[in-house]
Amino acid sequence: VSINRSITVSVPLEPRSYQVQIGAGAIALLPAQLEAAVGAPAYAVVSDAGVSRAVGEPLHRALQSAGLRATLHVHAAGEQGKTRAAWSALTDELLAAALGRDGCVIAIGGGVTGDLAGFVAATYMRGIAHVLVPTTLLAMVDAAVGGKTGVDTDAGKNLVGAFHPPRFVCIDPALLATLPGPEYRAGLAEMVKHAAIADERYLREIEVAAPRLPGADADALAALIARSVEIKAQIVAADPFEEGVRAMLNFGHTLGHALEGQQQFRVRHGEAVSIGMVLAARIGEHLGVTRAGTAAVLRAVLESLQLPVALPPQVTIDALLPFAAFDKKARAGLTRYVLLERPGAVARNDGHWTFEVPADTVRVALGPSPPAGS
């Protein structure tokens, strides 16, 4: 088996650093890699009901053909499958399959599968190995890097979980061929976020590649994905437990999360973040923190990727702000925003990565622009 070009990115999460391998066709190398890097006596392949036939079953068969002991486990697809009930059911399945302490979980699917299977691995017999094979663009560039696992509760998303880095991550952009357009674009929004906070040149590369996406050849896509993985890996490694610099990954997420909440999650996370980034750039420009023209640069890139860049007409900023106040970055009742200094760089605020911006300021910054000439 050969893959054309493969890029390896290290995620230096000491003491458990791991590697992310990115390449079209990379999944064919997985059985050999598992033997070399994990060497478990048994593997549990976990996938969601929507993609198990396309990716879970073939991987299960490939492991068996390679002589590895493997079982296949399927959970309900979608966010409603990321629950404590699903955690409990999957854990019971692994116990019934007699997976031992030295066993390994392989999550193949989107971020839901990775978060759920990762959390099962984190807690199963006090923690066993797991490997991530992300199959959505969002999971490739975001969920698979950083070691966060968990499930949702009625009180909110991701409220129960653990930091549990995988042994390694296998990213095969060829798996994206079947991903629906809106899911694909949701992942592109997080790539734009990485570029916006860390790398202006990467931002231009995304914009140049945009007309060819999503039909882009898997090699070109692999290179773009690798840059996002690198950026997230660097930030995460500098702040493994989310106490400082990792906050910058929340650029666009204060109002993005608020929009998701206000719309009761009828808007995709990536779409909400797309809008949230443009609004945060406008707030930053209004405050004089962000270089003038930055919002326009972001808007152009996001529009070329067919992502939304403004609030839906029926949603006013006043309807949104109460939801922003409950964002997890909101401390002591004040809403905090990650602001850019310019495209490719986050603004620092006296040693911090967020700015408290009063609701009135946000209203003025995002209110209707004054008539020309006034």
Residue 48 binds ligand NAD (CB under 6 A): yes
Q: Which of residues 13-42 bind ligand NAD (CB under 6 A)?
A: none
Instruction: Spell out the residues 6+ positions from residue 48 whose beta carbon is closer than 8 angstroms to its own.
Output: 74, 75, 76, 77, 78, 81, 109, 110, 112, 113
The nearest distance, CB 179 to ligand NAD, in angstroms, is: 4
Neighbours of 127 (CB within 10 A): 12
Pairing state between β 148-153 and 156-163: antiparallel
Residue 349 among the catalytic residues: no
With contacts defined by CB under 6 A, how many residues of the chain interact with ligand NAD? 28
Instruction: For tokens 């067919």, name the residue.
Output: 306
Nearer to ligand NAD, 52 or 294 (CB): 52
Nearer to ligand NAD, 195 or 347 (CB): 195
The nearest distance, CB 15 to ligand NAD, in angstroms, is: 20
Residue 178 binds ligand NAD (CB under 6 A): yes
Instruction: Spell out the residues 6+ positions from residue 314 whose beta carbon is closer than 8 angstroms to its own.
Output: none
Q: Rounded to 5 degrees, what are φ and ψ at 258?
A: -60, -40
Helix, strand, or coil (residue 108)? strand
Residue 246 among the catalytic residues: yes
Choosing from 73, 193, 246, 268, the catalytic residue is 246
Residue 231 binds ligand NAD (CB under 6 A): no
CA distance 304 to 28: 33
Q: Which of residues 77-106 bind ligand NAD (CB under 6 A)?
A: 77-79, 82
Residue 126 among the catalytic residues: yes
Nearer to ligand NAD, 70 or 122 (CB): 122
Q: First vs last Cα of the chain: how many Å apart?
A: 66
Residue 164 among the catalytic residues: no
Residues 43, 44, 49, 52, Cα dihedral to 10°: 10
Instruction: For tokens 């994990």, name the residue.
Output: 38
Q: Which of residues 124-143 bind ligand NAD (CB under 6 A)?
A: 135-136, 138-139, 142-143
Contact 273, 282 (CB under 8 A): no
Choosing from 60, 82, 253, 329, the catalytic residue is 253
The catalytic residue positions are 126, 148, 190, 232, 242, 246, 250, 253, 257, 269
Residues that bind ligand NAD (CB under 6 A): 48, 50-51, 77-79, 82, 109-113, 115, 135-136, 138-139, 142-143, 146, 148, 157-158, 175-176, 178-179, 183
